[in-house]
């Protein structure tokens, strides 16, 4: 679908028939926090993050989410 047709459908008020709702992801509100870790723990986190090719922050988020979902 061309952008102009999507714009026209949007102006008419409903474009849901043109969207793939199976792939919709909910984005929860975020809040930034600050956590202090000893340098040795940061080094270990960096090693683990490098093993799986993610950032330190992504690793921490994943580990916390996994723990909380148990």
Domain residue spans of the chain: 3-68
pLDDT at residue 1, as a whole number: 67
56-68 and 39-52 helices, crossing angle to 10°: 90
Global pTM value: 0.60
Which residues, given as ranges, of the chain have pLDDT below 50? none
The pLDDT assigned to 19 comes to 75
Three-state secondary structure call for residue 57: helix
For the beta carbon of residue 26, count every other beta carbon within 10 angstroms: 4
């Amino acid at each position: 679908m061309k952008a102009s047709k999507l714009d026209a459908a949007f102006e008419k008020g409903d474009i849901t028939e043109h969207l793939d709702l199976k792939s919709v992801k909910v984005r929860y509100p975020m809040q930034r926090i600050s956590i202090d870790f000893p340098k040795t723990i940061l080094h270990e986190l960096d090693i683990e993050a490098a093993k799986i090719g993610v950032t330190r922050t992504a690793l921490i988020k994943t580990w916390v989410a996994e723990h909380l979902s148990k």
